[in-house]
Structure 1
Amino acid sequence: MRLSIIIPVRNEAAGIVAMLARLAPLRERGAEIIVVDGGSSDGSAALATPLADRVLSTKPGRARQMHAGAIAASGEALLFLHADTVLPPDADALIAAALRRHVWGRFDVKIDGQHPMFRIVETMMNLRSRATGIATGDQAIFIRRADYEALGGYAQQPLMEDIEFSARARRLAPPACLHARVCTSARRWQTHGIARTILLMWRLRLAYFLGADPRRLALAYGYRVED
């Protein structure tokens, strides 16, 4: 089962080379690396080109970028990976084993900051995901390509696309919840403050579950919304 790793990026020049270099062993073992640039102004696409199998360009929007990468992918398994998230070294083998028994899945997550609150945040994220069958993009969602296509891919919405997608995917089957951890950047919490970020995300998720327009929520989160 060939793995295609799809990485949506926008202005990730500071870390994209190191991120892709960490994926080189998986690429050597046959994984396909697809970077989908959403209109970067810092040369991210050019930096990624020597280290990826394909570099695509789309309008901004993580869901749009990931779906474009999935369409272009040649693998039987798809992994959607944020540019600030680090996989365990044997991620390819773990995904292959999981997809022999499951339709889709995700990893547990670790936040790379040292503040004690991060340990609470990551523990709650992992426990909540196991209890609900809902995954976030930080947890590196993976799925069989055929099932991704059957689901119709990511909904083209500017926020909560991961929650919307995993809510549909769990109707097919419960996710494989891998105990192996991906490590995601703490920059979101460090930039805006831990407590403020937690409260904002709770508020946005509650509003989303109550039916709020994802475009309005994306603007509240600080995303630029494109048609």
Structure 2
Amino acid sequence: MRSKLIAPSVSIIIPTLNEAAHLGRTLTQLEILDPAAEEVIVVDGGSTDATLTLAHMHGCRVIRSQRKGRAVQMNRGAAAASGEILCFLHADTLVPSDLVQLMATTLADPAVSCGGFLSLMRGARRTRWGVSLHNALKTHYAALLFRPHRYLLNGFRVLFGDQVMFCRRRDFERCGGFDDTLPIMEDADLCERLGRLGRIRQLNRVVESSDRRVVRWGSWKATGIYLMIGLLWGLGVPASKLKRFYGEICD
């Protein structure tokens, strides 16, 4: 028997663009959340594959965005959401079945403004332990290098989309949501603004993301790209220039 939905309610927002190869697995996992989320919102940027068909099959609320881009699409989803907690989830990421409880418990602490998880990159053939370790470490070193006083005094962390960011809707609205002019690093930018409202907490629980970009680039190149992006972002390089290191955001 599924447990009764606890307060506060949760809206899960998934930006998509041609994600049919991964979305079905993610939505299947969301169907066994216990307690369940209030709603799952798929915000699509113009898919030409079976993404929308899958979203409808799984009973998601579907929004078609006239503009594509993760920040734009996630803001559209947040504006339409009814939940008190907003959870931003990539279409290729699997979450623990107690996701809703974990988020509610974390944000029950009024000193916490945002949370996320440990991201494990995994594919059909292997787990990317090295890349996954670097992704965990950069939440610390990016904050320590570029916002040391906030890291040491206020527990500031820099989380990224693969780590399944979540926050209260009122805090999201208070800090202005995602900056939809950013083609990349919109997640780190939101963390920096949410970090002014409270602590950023990374839970000691794992979410699993596809290693598709690592397969394309190779582990060393992928780690180098992620490292370069983080360093340049911290030094103030505009996101429009950083984008060329990462390729298309929603490919």
Which of residues 92, 98, 101 in structure 1 aligns to 2:100? 92
Aligned partner of 1:111 in structure 2 is 121
Percent sequence identity is 36
In structure 1, the partner of 2:85 is 77
Cα 1:90–1:190 shift into 2, 3 Å: same
Gapped runs of 5+ residues in structure 2? Answer: 1-7, 144-150
Give the distance between the partners of 1:126 and 1:221, measured in 2 at CA.
18
Quote the offset at 1:111 in angstroms: 1.8
Stretches of 4+ moved more than 6 A in 1?
Answer: none
Query: Greater shift after overlay, 149-158 or 183-192?
Result: 183-192
Residue equivalent to 1:134? 158
**Cα RMSD between the aligned structures?**
2.1
1:61 is aligned to 2:65:
no
* Alignment partner of 1:212 out of 217, 220, 237: 237
Matching residue's letter, 1:196 = K
Count of aligned pairs: 225
Q: Which amino acid aligns with 2:119?
A: V
Cα shift at 1:205:
2.2
Q: Distance in 2 between matches of 1:224 and 1:66?
A: 13
Listed as ranges, the gaps of 5+ residues in structure 1 are none
3-state SS in 1 of match to 2:199: coil
* Distance (whole Å) between structure 1 residues aligned to residue 31 and residue 131 of structure 2: 29
Once the two structures are overlaid, the 10-residue window that deviates more, 212-221 or 150-159, is 212-221
Equivalent residue for 1:34? 41
Q: Secondary structure at the match of 1:20?
A: helix
> Per-residue deviation at 1:34?
0.2
Which whole-Å CA distance do the structure 1 matches of 2:226 and 2:11 have between them? 29
Aligned twin of 1:22: 29
Which residue number in structure 1 is paired with residue 134 of structure 2? 121
Q: CA deviation at 1:47?
A: 1.9
Q: State how far apart, in whole Å, the 2-side matches of 1:133 and 1:28 are.
A: 28
Q: Deviations over 1:155-196 (max 9, x none)?
A: 111100001010111111111221111111111111111111
If the length of structure 1 is used for normalisation, what is the TM-score?
0.91
In structure 2, distance between residues paired with 1:19 and 1:98: 23
Name the SS of the counterpart of 1:154 in structure 2. coil
CA distance, structure 2, for counterparts of residue 30 and residue 107 of structure 1: 17
The aligned runs of 1:179-198 (5 Å cut-off) are 179-198=204-223
User: Within 2, Cα distance between the matches of 1:9 and 1:78?
Assistant: 17
Q: 1:208 offset after TM fit, Å?
A: 2.1
After superposition, the Cα gap between the structure-2 partners of 1:123 and 1:77, relative to the gap in structure 1 and judged at 3 Å, is closer
